[in-house]
Structure 1
């Protein structure tokens, strides 16, 4: 029973951690898009801005 609980907690940890990291990444990118002036501005500066 103890081994099963250990395996279950390890499995949950391995499933939740990447999801949590992905959620943080999504929140960060949403924050960056929001602070840079919306999605069109973000796309424009990301893909059409000329490197000087």
Structure 2
């Protein structure tokens, strides 16, 4: 029965670590722009690369 208390404590500690990592990512701007990176692959570049001589 005492192993259950240990496992509950470890799972709560792990959940708090993940929660802290999530808040750190939000505060540091990891999820500021979710739209542009997904659309960048669909847009063609208009400029031609310079020709070599």
Q: Normalization by structure 2: what TM-score?
A: 0.53
Q: Structure 1 regions of 5+ residues with no counterpart? A: 1-7, 40-52
In the other structure, the counterpart of 1:19 is 11
TM-fit CA distance, 1:20? 0.6
Query: Which has more radius of gyration?
Result: 2
Q: Normalization by structure 1: what TM-score?
A: 0.54
Give the helix-richer structure, 1 or 2.
1
| Bigger relative CO (Cα 8 Å, ≥ 6 apart) | 1
Q: Structure 2 regions of 5+ residues with no counterpart? A: 32-53
- Which one of the candidate residues 24, 28, 31 is aligned to 1:36? 28
Count of residues paired in the alignment: 31
Segments ≥4 residues shifted beyond 4 Å = none
